[in-house]
Amino acid sequence: MHALRSFLNEKNRSHKKIPDGDRKEMEWMNDVCIPPCCLYRSMENCAGSVEELPYLKANMENHLYKHMRGQVKGSDAEVVLAYLRGKKHVDPTY
């Protein structure tokens, strides 16, 4: 019975129910390079157990991916290109 209840709870959890506070904390922790597996474990510990979280690890990873994609800007690409041009200037075979 416990397995069925756990299965049903897992199916009902959704990324739409990630609280705003958790979203901000996830984004901040991800910005300081904490890996998603550690981040999810931290959220699980704060909630008390994995059953208490209203979202799945996959939902959290999708949210973080969306957050990271939104941070890429044109200036980021320019910095990368400038770095590569500098490498080529130092070593023409690069």
Give the tens place of pLDDT for each residue, 10-60. 555 555 688 999 999 999 998 898 999 999 999 999 999 888 888 889 999
pTM of the model: 0.59
**Residue 65 to residue 29: CA distance in whole angstroms:** 13
**Residue 13 to residue 15: CA distance in whole angstroms:** 7
Secondary structure element (H or E) that encloses residue 60, with its range = helix 57-71
* Model pLDDT, residue 3: 58
Cβ contacts of 65-72, under 8 Å, gap ≥ 24: 67/26, 67/27, 67/30, 68/30
In contact, 94 and 87? CB cutoff 8 Å: yes
